[in-house]
Structure 1
Amino acid sequence: MHLQLQLPGLLGDEDPLAQELRNITFVIVDLETTGGAPDGGGITEVGAVKVRGGEQLGQLATLVNPGVPIPPFITVLTGITTAMVSPAPTIERVLPSLLEFLSGAVLVAHNAPYDVGFLKAACAAHGYKWPAPRVLDTALMARRVLLRDEVPNRKLGTLAAYFRTHTPTHRALDDALATVDVLHALIGRLGSLRVTTLGETISYLKPVTPTQRSKRFLAEGLPHAPGVYIFRAADDRPLYVGTSGDIATRVRSYFTAGEKRARISEMLAASTRVDAVVCAHSLEAQVRELRLIAAHSPPYNRRSKHPERVHWIKLTAEAFPRLSLVRRLGPEPGAILGPFSGRRTAQAAIDAVHEAIPLRQCSQRLSARRASSACALAELGRCPAPCLLHINPEQYQAELVDRVQQAFHADPDPVVQPLLRRMAKLAQTQRFEEAAQVRDRMLAFLRTASRMQRLASLTSIAELVAAKRTKEGGWEIAIVRHGRLAGAATAAPGIHPRRTLDILWPTAETVILPVTGHNPTPCATAEESERIIDWLELPETRLVEASAGWASPMRGAMRLRSLLTSADSKHSDRQ
């Protein structure tokens, strides 16, 4: 056995799929065998070459005694005779060195299923665990990369002659060295197609649908920059809007085998153009995506299917206020809670409030001076019966309405604590299903109260400027006004961010707060303001200036987020 090794060349801790091909350690393997299938033949010679970044790191080469005579036609093809392999080690003795040589590397072979099949059969026969390395097949790569008018077939000898590389001789090490040269030539071709990482290569080599293949030209000429991409139909209608830190790379992924969503295949078939909107950084790209989806409702964006399904809970403006479920917030004052993405969640929050605070639930308009008929809840004692004038408007306000307003906008305890006590009592009597229903109603209320208070803490600020350090040493800059992204820019490394900010300020959007209304997100959608908050809360983001303090209520719903986190983790555990 001949073994030459210079460097370990392992892949390291980084995800190999994300690594550039030039940084990947490859072990190129070639086997000579007695022919036939793995279970009916034997290995007569092993050749392996370890390379990385175009540099050879080591070689492993040895004849192998297959334990059976070598057929004459194999001897004619390879020159290997039975006499030559008689003193050679068996594959059982060769496997430990070969598997160690393969450790941490990507296995490459020409017609890889053949060689891998023999190696896996040998491991199984002699009690070795097959390490299941990632495998690249240079024959498959050639079929995907080279055209028929370039090479008539994808045989190793044909490819070696086309690329003018090492000549294969049907001996294991020579053929492995020839495969090394072919691999490097094919990697160069992949680079021209902007396929540069191992993950991209594996996806590119998988079979794609005819639609994906015919529409690949849509990904040409797009920028490698953060921003938004828009698939358009023949009449210029936006079909799908997406965002990425690298527009060109993301759009190309739609034309690989990794994209299997049926609705996306349908979208690609209808697309005739892809437009790109380059953005200063990822936050601007996310915001522009949300705004484009809201403006155009692209049919293939899931979240644009029902943009009108937003609900709010509002205390009515009457002598005896009640909770009302509304789609829009008018100019009249009143405590509100929302937004809710669906009616069911909003109703669960209403039920939570009613269970904790006995507001009236009837929809009739009540007089503060004249009694009217009582409902069943009043007769059951679950309502203070303002209809019967058992409580006056001042008492109703102080004992009930003020508690609801406090729970919505400041401290959620008036709702949360009674429900927690109710859950504990139900659990003690083993009424676990009822306790779970109370819990779900409480969480629906608490999630939305927490979300609304979090949004209101930002949207109340007339202007806020923040900057986030980039990996390259520059700064992402954002100007936020009443929770709306008004301006975005990136200061390049070596340029003081203040210079960029001074240029950005005059061009930033003017955001005017509505004179009336009590919407916690008056100038942007809740989704946009939440994306901004998520960006602001990143550890690497720095607040530069703010027209007012950014704060939440001291005893607000955010202090009970542990309840939400616990509930979410238990839910994910059950998935």
Structure 2
Amino acid sequence: MSSHPVPPPFPSVAGEGVPPAWRQVALPTAPPERPRYLQATIDDIGTPLAEVTFVVVDLETTGGSPKDSAITEIGAVKVRGGQVLGEFQTLVDPGREIPPYISVLTGITSMMVAAAPRIDSVLPAFLEFARGTVLVAHNAPFDLGFLRAACEETGTPWPPFASVDTAVLARRLLTRDEVPNCKLGTLAPFFSAETQPCHRALDDARATVDVLHGLFERLGPLGVSSLEELTGLTRQVDPQRRRKRHLAEHVPSGPGVYLFRGPRDQPLYVGTSNDLRTRVRSYFSAGEQRSRMTEMIALAERIEALPCAHDLEAAVRELRLIAEHKPRYNRRSRFPERALWVRLTDEVFPRLSVVRRVRPGAGVFLGPFPDRRAADAAVAAVHESLPLRQCTSRLSLTVLGTACALAGMGRCGAPCTGAQSREDYASIAAVFAAAVDSDPRDLVAPLLDRVERLAAEGRYEDAAVLRDRVAVLVRAVRRRQRLESLATVPEFVIARPDGAGGWQLSVVRRGRLVAAGVAERGRSVRGYLADLRATAETPVGPDDELAASVDETELVLRWMEKPGTRLVDVTGTLASRTPGTGPYNGFLTRVEAGRAERDPFADNRSLGTRAQPDRVAPGQPAPRPARGRGTGRAAARRGRVGPGLASPA
């Protein structure tokens, strides 16, 4: 009796030496057949998000930069498949005093971390907790930057972590109609997070977990289901944007202005560049990730290019076009008419008011100010120095009224009651007029003395408020005097070398650029300038007023102050009145330098590629993984003022 081998009841799988994307299946048939290969799906190739272990981390620090700040707290939550696997939290002794404004922001004081471990003993424990996972943070460059710096400082190798930035994902997946911004404090209530962020590491990490899961729900309609697709999401180029690259084919090189125009030929966006062709083509690449630019390009039907002689003409043309058309997707300089001015009224007993129009002969005007807050700060500084009346009624010499509380406090001479003559009041108002015109010393000196006195008494918060008001006032006076120096000049010509042996020429009349050109190498500058003047624009309006917007005149001023600029010719007098604000340059420099200490998290840099990606729509192809840049946190806090910060150098 012979026996035969019994075939196994189930197929056996063999995959040695075969690429992992293929499965070799040996079928249980006798005699053996040639192996058959089955191609796996794309889900088998990528790492499904449900199987990825994430560690959501948040840090609290003593400042905004790893170069001069340290970690004070680490909080982390480990999650996989929507389930919390563990948490990590510890205070860290930064080895230095925690600034008071940081303690106010986070609630962590120097005494709380006095007995906490140092970072060199905490870091190995955290890295072990996060080993083999994907790190997640809100504004990841901030948190991961501190962790990398700590590893470098302690000599600990930094593991090759993959990372996900929830701020980037939110900018990619949410619209401005849904959330006004992508701060953690805004996203947490939007996604109904169980924990609200409060600038404590573990609570912020828990809130970020809920935000991460809420964002993951938005990935399903986009077909993003793997870690590889998620990390490459921010570099995806919208196919609709890619199809419109032909709009940039006719754009020339060189300096100039470009306009994106919509379906009704209306300007959507106005920009400027020293190389028009390169700049315009960048809008159709992965390098342009701003969501509003993606919306704009989707509406654009054509691109208009306006070549210019040099960068000053391009910048001026851009300002004028933005002010004229107010394109929807431009954010700055759209409404120059909304600038604010502080006016000393022209009446018997003048007072200060904030207005939007400068009317010749209607008083003394100081400004312009970018917003109401700055204008109010300047007004408050003037009232701290001068006992000008603050009531809004119009006073006369015959009808008398009753004194207000300010008169009892000694902050007003009570001209409404007849206690102060017109001549005495006029001498006080003349101090403000003289400060705007040429000499701000009598106006500013009492304020700086008061700042020093408050600081010496230990009233640092009051000193900081007054100091900032003085800085706003001095800047406004300096700006007004700089503009006034050009308003009365009938014409002047400035030139800059073009780098090829020629000269870039600009003709300016009463602060307005009226002609621009380039005298190429070998050509007579004087002869070319005569032709340029003959075709120049003639400004309208009074001879002693600016013929251009404030922004345009300041562009001219900045171009004049660049190294290498030469004054070729001038009609009239081009000078600033003395003493001006020169004695206060040192004071303003110290105030600007102190901003970094008062605003440790302030970061006004433009957002990088990963930090400001465009949104995507369902049905787009899976992106490739890519790296990019991000941005730090922003949280402004007022700091202290010490003695010696107020007096001008």
2:417 to 385, 388, 401: 388
Letter in 2 for 1:212: R
Letter in 1 for 2:482: R
Aligned residue number for residue 328 of structure 1: 357
1:470 to 472, 486, 498: 498
1:570 paired to 2:594: yes
Please give the alpha-carbon distance, in whole angstroms, between the structure 2 residues aligned to 1:539 and 1:567: 25
Query: Alignment RMSD, CA only?
Result: 2.5
1:255 to 284, 290, 296: 284
Please give the alpha-carbon distance, in whole angstroms, between the structure 1 residues aligned to 2:335 and 2:460: 35
**Kindly tell me: are residues 559 and 497 of structure 1, through their superposed partners in 2, closer, same or farther at Cα, counting changes over 3 Å?**
farther
Unaligned ranges ≥5, structure 1: 1-33, 38-126, 133-205
Of Structure 1 and Structure 2, the greater helix share is in 1
Query: Which deviates further from its counterpart, 477-486 or 539-548?
Result: 539-548
- Residues 101-130 of structure 1: CA deviation (Å, up to 9, x unaligned): xxxxxxxxxxxxxxxxxxxxxxxxxx9x99
Letter in 1 for 2:511: G
Aligned residue number for residue 471 of structure 2: 443
Please give the alpha-carbon distance, in whole angstroms, between the structure 1 residues aligned to 2:513 and 2:306: 16
Please give the alpha-carbon distance, in whole angstroms, between the structure 1 residues aligned to 2:279 and 2:446: 50
Higher relative contact order (CA 8 A, sep 6+): 2
Amino-acid identity (%): 47
Aligned residue number for residue 611 of structure 2: none
- Residues 361-416 of structure 1: CA deviation (Å, up to 9, x unaligned): 11111112332121111122211110111111111112x01101111111122222
1:225 paired to 2:254: yes
Aligned residue number for residue 38 of structure 2: none
Query: Is this contact kept in 1: 2:368–2:476, CA < 8 A?
Result: yes
Secondary structure of the 2:554 match is helix
Secondary structure of the 2:455 match is helix
Aligned residue number for residue 237 of structure 1: 266
Please give the alpha-carbon distance, in whole angstroms, between the structure 1 residues aligned to 2:486 and 2:509: 9
Letter in 2 for 1:387: C
**Kindly tell me: are residues 389 and 277 of structure 1, through their superposed partners in 2, closer, same or farther at Cα, counting changes over 3 Å?**
same
1:525 to 531, 549, 556: 549
Aligned residue number for residue 554 of structure 1: 578
Query: Is this contact kept in 2: 1:449–1:557, CA < 8 A?
Result: yes
Letter in 2 for 1:249: T
Matches within 5 A, 1:6-405: 207-304=236-333, 306-398=335-427, 400-405=428-433
Please give the alpha-carbon distance, in whole angstroms, between the structure 1 residues aligned to 2:541 and 2:564: 30
Query: Is this contact kept in 2: 1:357–1:414, CA < 8 A?
Result: no
- Residues 252-281 of structure 1: CA deviation (Å, up to 9, x unaligned): 111111111111111111101100011111
Query: Is this contact kept in 1: 2:336–2:549, CA < 8 A?
Result: no
- Residues 10-48 of structure 1: CA deviation (Å, up to 9, x unaligned): xxxxxxxxxxxxxxxxxxxxxxxx9999xxxxxxxxxxx
Aligned residue number for residue 505 of structure 1: 533
1:420 to 448, 467, 471: 448
Query: Is this contact kept in 2: 1:239–1:300, CA < 8 A?
Result: yes
Offset of residue 556 of structure 1: 0.4
Offset of residue 336 of structure 1: 1.0
Query: Is this contact kept in 2: 1:240–1:267, CA < 8 A?
Result: yes
Please give the alpha-carbon distance, in whole angstroms, between the structure 2 residues aligned to 1:450 and 1:36: 72
Offset of residue 227 of structure 1: 0.6
Please give the alpha-carbon distance, in whole angstroms, between the structure 1 residues aligned to 2:576 and 2:360: 24
Please give the alpha-carbon distance, in whole angstroms, between the structure 1 residues aligned to 2:19 and 2:495: 65
Aligned residue number for residue 519 of structure 2: 491
Secondary structure of the 2:292 match is helix
Offset of residue 481 of structure 1: 0.1
Query: Is this contact kept in 2: 1:454–1:558, CA < 8 A?
Result: no
Offset of residue 210 of structure 1: 1.6
Unaligned ranges ≥5, structure 2: 1-16, 21-154, 161-234, 603-649
Query: Is this contact kept in 2: 1:491–1:500, CA < 8 A?
Result: yes
User: How many residues are matched?
Assistant: 376
Letter in 1 for 2:448: L
TM-score (norm 2): 0.55
Offset of residue 480 of structure 1: 0.2
Letter in 1 for 2:307: V
Aligned residue number for residue 88 of structure 1: none
Please give the alpha-carbon distance, in whole angstroms, between the structure 1 residues aligned to 2:494 and 2:350: 41
Secondary structure of the 1:314 match is strand
Aligned residue number for residue 406 of structure 1: 434
TM-score (norm 1): 0.62
Please give the alpha-carbon distance, in whole angstroms, between the structure 1 residues aligned to 2:373 and 2:572: 36
**Kindly tell me: are residues 390 and 278 of structure 1, through their superposed partners in 2, closer, same or farther at Cα, counting changes over 3 Å?**
same
Please give the alpha-carbon distance, in whole angstroms, between the structure 1 residues aligned to 2:475 and 2:403: 34
Letter in 1 for 2:519: A
Query: Is this contact kept in 2: 1:352–1:415, CA < 8 A?
Result: no
Please give the alpha-carbon distance, in whole angstroms, between the structure 2 residues aligned to 1:380 and 1:279: 59
Query: Is this contact kept in 2: 1:372–1:388, CA < 8 A?
Result: yes
Letter in 2 for 1:509: E
Please give the alpha-carbon distance, in whole angstroms, between the structure 1 residues aligned to 2:19 and 2:596: 50
Please give the alpha-carbon distance, in whole angstroms, between the structure 2 residues aligned to 1:271 and 1:327: 34
- Residues 424-468 of structure 1: CA deviation (Å, up to 9, x unaligned): 111112111111110111111111111111111112211001111
